[in-house]
A = this chain, B = another copy of it.
Amino acid sequence: MTKEELFEQITKKKSFLCIGLDTDLSKIPTHLLQLEDPFFEFNKKIIDATHNYCVAYKLNTAFYEAMGLKGWKSLEKTINYLNQKYPNLFTIADAKRGDIGNTSKMYATAFLENLNFDSITVAPYMGKDSVSPFLEYKNKWVILLALTSNSGSDDFQTQETKSGLLYEQVLTTSKQWGNEGNMMYVVGATKAEMLGKIRSIIPNHFLLVPGVGAQGGSLQEVAKYGMNSQCGLLVNASRSIIYAGNGSDFAEKAAKEAQTMQQEMASLL
């Protein structure tokens, strides 16, 4: 998906919501557990109920890998379902991968080629040749970790280097590896006050913003400091939406929660 196509979807749906499918067997409604593939059934119902309110879905690979072979199958079925039924939705493999060149190439094959995700989250620590293989696919995206939403982000990301804080250096250096049409950055909503500085380094790139919802970040603050002329934001919510309900009406409750966020987003756009 191109940047223009993504912005078109945002404009059309008046939403920059990304829904995170952090599907967890211990949290999904118990009536699904008797089905052959509870993960996929849950995801399908959530997607069908919420797709009008969001522009992206993010699949957190850890939750699927924790289920082994079965989980990988559910991951495949979910991304295939999204690509076939909702081709206008932007898809994110939230995989936090990154390794030496020949290995990153394999991860790119796995997620951008075989599974055909639009994008993958990548960790920056190993530098340029660990990121470049993901940038070789047309209309696919790297979403590079810059400033994450967790407490550990202060251990290294906000440490001072010779060229600003580490995450600022990551932005300044890495923006030369790709362009505004194939790179986005992860910036946590819990660090909204830093978005002003971030926008001075990368005014036009899209940001994937986790941390609104269960992690406590504010949507208003994110929009205030992070929005640009083409929106430039994908705000993710996972648990607060997909686990809004736990009964037979879980999908409707998720839809209601997603709609509430969409309406708030519409007023901010």
Residues of chain A whose beta carbon lies under 8 Å from any beta carbon of chain B: 22, 24, 60, 62-63, 65-66, 68-69, 72-73, 76, 94, 96-104, 106-107, 109-111, 114-115, 123-131, 145, 148-157, 159-163, 166, 169-170, 173-174
- By beta carbon, the residue of chain B nearest A100 is B150
Q: Report the minimal beta-carbon distance from A136 to chain B, rounded to whole angstroms.
A: 15
CB pairs A–B below 8 angstroms (22 shown): A62-B99, A69-B69, A69-B76, A72-B72, A96-B97, A96-B126, A98-B123, A123-B123, A124-B125, A124-B156, A125-B125, A125-B156, A125-B157, A126-B145, A127-B151, A127-B153, A127-B156, A130-B152, A155-B173, A156-B170, A159-B161, A159-B162
Say how many copies of this protein the assembly contains. Answer: 2
Q: A65-B111, A155-B173 are in contact. List 17 more A-B contacts (CB 8 A).
A: A22-B102, A60-B99, A62-B97, A65-B106, A68-B110, A69-B73, A100-B148, A100-B149, A124-B156, A125-B148, A126-B145, A126-B153, A126-B157, A127-B157, A129-B151, A156-B170, A159-B166
